[in-house]
A and B are shown apart, each in its own frame.
Chain A
Amino acid sequence: MGNWSRFNIASIVLGFGFLYLPIVLLVIFSFNESKLVTVWAGFSTKWYTQLWHNQALLDAAWVTIRVALISATCATVLGTLAALALVRYTRFRGRMLFSGMVYAPLVMPEVITGLSLLLLFVAIGLDRGFWTITLAHITFTMCFVAVVVQSRLLSFDQSIEEAALDLGATPVRTFFAITLPVIAPAVFSGWVLAFTLSLDDLVISSFTTGPGATTLPMKIYSQVRLGVTPEINAICTILIGVVAIGVVVASIVTKQREAQRERDERAAFAQS
């Protein structure tokens, strides 16, 4: 496509600078010696060592990770099923409503989702706490998984599936032997997305939580309201680091797998 003009390069550099500068500054000032976040006073890792002695914070981190692991896994199963239903079954009763319910949570303001789930949990008499947060997270993250998996399914060559069915495989077996291996990278990135969304969520967790279940974003939020401190910068830096490493590793693994699959496919064609 045409030439990459100076204007194009400048807009990319400025745009990416805007996206990354605040995060870079936050990371830099987490290593600041001074308690003042905006005045540099020398390199120090003392805020990180302090974190290890903050038991309430560590507890919150542990709750958050457990919620994220359980909810991401359930959301991946449900979201993959939803994607299959949307792509493979173009007509069934209430399909319009179904696709609406899959897309609406993507844009629904979190205060509405949070309030409505809370009122549901109260109405059915569920004790609020760890499990209600998890159920809420499954519900809003499964739709993101569904969209990610759906886009992979749409570009999927359905004839291999039909071949398997023609050769006598049951639909269940076809799904596990043919469909799932092909869409696995998308399912995996759906899981990673659900995991990080759950890890980050503040509003929905705050509405659906009960006594004793405090997640890390809730803890961070209550401290942020009191002002900016290097200690919060340190927690944030650790979170950013974990997520960045996770995403980069995930994308490398996915790419390698796709490359491997393409090589296999070519080899298979060459043989036949």
Chain B
Amino acid sequence: MKKRLILQEITRTFEDGGIEITILDKLDLEVAEGELVAVMGPSGSGKSTFLSIAGALLEPTSGHVLLDGESITGKNKQELSDLRLKKIGFIFQSANLIPYLKVEEQLVLVSKLAGMEKAKATKRAKDLLDKMGLSHRRTAYPEKLSGGERQRVAIARALMNDPAVLFADEPTASLDASRGLDIVSMIAKQVKDQRKSAVMVTHDDRILPLCDRVLFLENGKLVEKKEAPQSTFHVV
């Protein structure tokens, strides 16, 4: 099976008061097509750093990130911007929509930035919103949407440019249990249907059953554990 996201020996160190701190230590990860991987870990374990590096927002100290087989090392800022635009879909914690754009425009914006034709973009936006069950909300501003609806728009936007990889940063943090489940199952379904690789950073163990794999970030490495998620309280 094709691996759309591959992280090889990612190391990231920070300098803090003259002491070098290793956040990620030769971290390896491969996510296959159609696979949704959950990454858990206590605060300070490096989840954000991990997501930033995998999402081409931050350069690793060493190691390689491959998106659809293409390395992101050595690219300049603009190339990285374009890469994020076309290869990566982001779903953030909450309120990650632009307040002054209507639902449909949120989607059209990203395709416009990627240079898609307007007619094509409008059609794709319409299809995606249909899939997310948001057709009736197309001309609403984010402030008029419920938290769940907002996250669904975010999912649609993340999928707009048909990326290789989806990254979700605690997508259920501001939702209640049933809506959270709803959103994650929607992400899982799209990942399966559209053959994406997806990584979700989360604290929420209720949604883990929907993921194909659950990994814990410990001592700068990702480890797979079968037992209950109490282990997230390890001190790193």
Q: Real complex partners, A and B? A: no
